Chain A
């Protein structure tokens, strides 16, 4: 019995669920400030993408601008 769980594979699933979360936390902390540089071209692309995305959302919602 592991933590009251009969089968080792189920205990493993329980443990790996927690360990994988810890992996996510450690990865997030270690890379918190990495890969933040954005080139001008990328910035421009992102801006245009967001603009078009907003237009799509407007069309889906009511077909017009709400401002």
Chain B
């Protein structure tokens, strides 16, 4: 790859992104001030912004890479991404959230919950959870992008982390959060085009859809023994029911990320940016196609890369990538695609990484400044300090993200994403659903739902979930064994237990306590037909 061409393209791209962000910001500001037309976000911009924030380098590189190992059963995830992450999210969550959010003037997800339940504690505690754990997800996105830069430029990983971190940190800290929605839309468009080309290319290269799938099916005897022992029989089959791999794929990756999207703080606020439900209706169409092409391509290309590598190098993908699933997609781009695509894909990756990271740091910034500092210390509130706390919080979060990006083990991207999505779902999903659909859910009910979901998830990760429990070592310290409950429980995602318990506890506690904030509920549900 010609570094001069690449640098030129990247610089032009960054200039366009900065210009569009600034222009988009000014347009919104002017139209808000002077009440002229187009004061709020167009459905194309909203859908692409939601999509570009939702689908990151973690999905393309991490989950694409995991598909090369686990095969096409992972396609349940794009199905969930579209059916739940777009259709259910916009139609059943978006419309109500938008109305209630505007009625209560909420600007962040914790603020939405806090105001709905008249509970500063809920707002602060939710902000705290997000502030602490969001860097893990941000690190997954950072690693995803850095692996691509490493693969395309053929430079050491640490340099690619440094390059991408500097790019993102300057973008975020020098005003990149102002026109986020507009730049997201351009970035989403680039992602869409790049991933579509990749999908078409691999199917043509492997002789068409059926032929490509058949070739993958016929590679069954090349599946590594370790994977076979974990339950994988074919890359176009589901793993054996109840096997270790079955639980990892369905409970953690499909369920965690598929459902977890509904309670993602950086996505929930997007609903409030459109001017009516009509825009959300239209965004369903655009968002559905966007997610199909971006995630569908990543997962199909990931799985089919085995055929390409085997036919050309006599090795399957994981062997080509020397055991690191996060390197499979970058390697495939470098080896299989024409060199011009490498340049385009670099922009796709910059887009996918920057759009998600900027939203993540935006969410982190508002969590620490607005949800924790402003909300918890209202007696001593000072605007200057809020700005300072926000800035310091964001710098700390960026540094934590970079630290994790360097320290986390190889092949971690999909897992780290699933952990964050699962934690958000376990803690917030039920209190959130009930807050928009059930007027009788109480503050105590919501608090018990959030705390039980959060506590159970953290407890299981620290002591039971195999990989994580080994890393933290608490089970070893207190019980002299790697994990508290050895066996299949090590592979069942904490979400499987935490989510129903959180839901049950929200409902049961609500039934035994009284709603006290009648006025808030009246305001919140104004304009919503039951």
Instruction: Compute how far the CA of A47 lies from the CA of B390 in the bound complex, rounded to whole angstroms.
Output: 25
Q: Which residue of A lies closest to B76 (CB)?
A: A13
> A18-B292, A35-B277, A37-B276 given as contacts; is B217 within 8 A of A47 (CB)?
no
The contact string, 1 if C-beta is below 8 Å from chain A, for chain B 336-371, is: 000000000000000000000000001001100110
A13, A35, A43, A48: most-surrounded residue (chain B CB, <10 A): A13
Which one of A6, A24, A36, A57 lies within 8 Å of B236 (CB-CB)? A6
Which of chain B's residues 209-241 have a Cβ closer than 8 Å to chain A?
A: 209-217, 234, 236-238
Are B79 and A20 touching (Cβ within 8 A)? yes
The contact string, 1 if C-beta is below 8 Å from chain B, for chain A 23-56, is: 1110111011111111101110111111111101
Instruction: Compute how far the CA of A45 lies from the CA of B26 in the bound complex, rounded to whole angstroms.
Output: 20
Instruction: Compute how far the CA of A10 lies from the CA of B390 in the bound complex, rounded to whole angstroms.
Output: 46
Are B234 and A7 touching (Cβ within 8 A)? yes
Number of interface residues of A (CB under 8 A): 53
Whether B86 is near chain A, meaning CB under 8 Å from some CB there, is yes
Which one of B72, B102, B174, B281 lies within 8 Å of A5 (CB-CB)? B72
Instruction: Compute how far the CA of A32 lies from the CA of B76 in the bound complex, rounded to whole angstroms.
Output: 28
Instruction: Compute how far the CA of A39 lies from the CA of B178 in the bound complex, rounded to whole angstroms.
Output: 28
Q: Which residue of B lies closest to A22 (CB)?
A: B288
Interface segment among B28-36, B115-123, B139-147, B319-327: the answer is B28-36
Are B86 and A66 touching (Cβ within 8 A)? no
Whether B285 is near chain A, meaning CB under 8 Å from some CB there, is yes
Residues of A within 8 A of B289 (CB): 21, 24-25
> A4-B210, A47-B32, A54-B29 given as contacts; is B82 within 8 A of A9 (CB)?
no
Instruction: Compute how far the CA of A37 lies from the CA of B277 in the bound complex, rounded to whole angstroms.
Output: 9
Q: Which residue of B lies closest to A59 (CB)?
A: B387
Residues of B within 8 A of A59 (CB): 369, 386-387, 390
A9 CB to nearest chain B CB (Å):
5
Instruction: Compute how far the CA of A20 lies from the CA of B86 in the bound complex, rounded to whole angstroms.
Output: 10
The contact string, 1 if C-beta is below 8 Å from chain A, for chain B 270-281, is: 001101111011
Are A60 and B365 touching (Cβ within 8 A)? yes
> A24-B287, A25-B288 given as contacts; is B82 within 8 A of A4 (CB)?
no
- A contact face: mostly helix, strand, loop, or mixed: helix
Are B25 and A66 touching (Cβ within 8 A)? yes
Are B238 and A60 touching (Cβ within 8 A)? no
Whether B248 is near chain A, meaning CB under 8 Å from some CB there, is no
Number of A-B contacts defined by CB within 8 Å: 186
Whether B40 is near chain A, meaning CB under 8 Å from some CB there, is yes
> A33-B278, A36-B278, A38-B275 given as contacts; is B362 within 8 A of A60 (CB)?
yes
Residues of B within 8 A of A53 (CB): 107, 273
B291 CB to nearest chain A CB (Å):
8
Whether B446 is near chain A, meaning CB under 8 Å from some CB there, is no
> A10-B73, A28-B285 given as contacts; is B362 within 8 A of A4 (CB)?
no
Instruction: Compute how far the CA of A29 lies from the CA of B283 in the bound complex, rounded to whole angstroms.
Output: 10
Instruction: Compute how far the CA of A52 lies from the CA of B370 in the bound complex, rounded to whole angstroms.
Output: 12
Are A28 and B286 touching (Cβ within 8 A)? yes
Which one of B40, B72, B215, B390 lies within 8 Å of A46 (CB-CB)? B40
Residues of B within 8 A of A1 (CB): 214, 217
Instruction: Compute how far the CA of A62 lies from the CA of B391 in the bound complex, rounded to whole angstroms.
Output: 9
B523 CB to nearest chain A CB (Å):
11
Instruction: Compute how far the CA of A13 lies from the CA of B70 in the bound complex, rounded to whole angstroms.
Output: 15
Are A39 and B87 touching (Cβ within 8 A)? no
Are A47 and B238 touching (Cβ within 8 A)? no
Are A21 and B105 touching (Cβ within 8 A)? no
B69 CB to nearest chain A CB (Å):
15
Are A67 and B75 touching (Cβ within 8 A)? no
Q: Which residue of B lies closest to A33 (CB)?
A: B278
Residues of B within 8 A of A6 (CB): 217, 234, 236-237
Instruction: Compute how far the CA of A24 lies from the CA of B293 in the bound complex, rounded to whole angstroms.
Output: 13
Are B285 and A24 touching (Cβ within 8 A)? yes
Are B87 and A23 touching (Cβ within 8 A)? yes
A57 CB to nearest chain B CB (Å):
5
A–B complex contacts, Cβ < 8 Å, 13 sampled: A5-B236, A13-B75, A16-B79, A17-B79, A24-B288, A34-B277, A35-B276, A36-B276, A36-B278, A50-B273, A57-B362, A59-B369, A60-B366
Task: Known A-B contacts: A5-B217, A60-B369. Give 20 more (CB < 8 A).
Answer: A4-B212, A4-B214, A4-B217, A13-B73, A13-B79, A17-B82, A18-B292, A20-B82, A21-B288, A25-B288, A27-B91, A32-B282, A35-B276, A43-B275, A45-B103, A46-B40, A56-B370, A57-B177, A58-B178, A66-B175
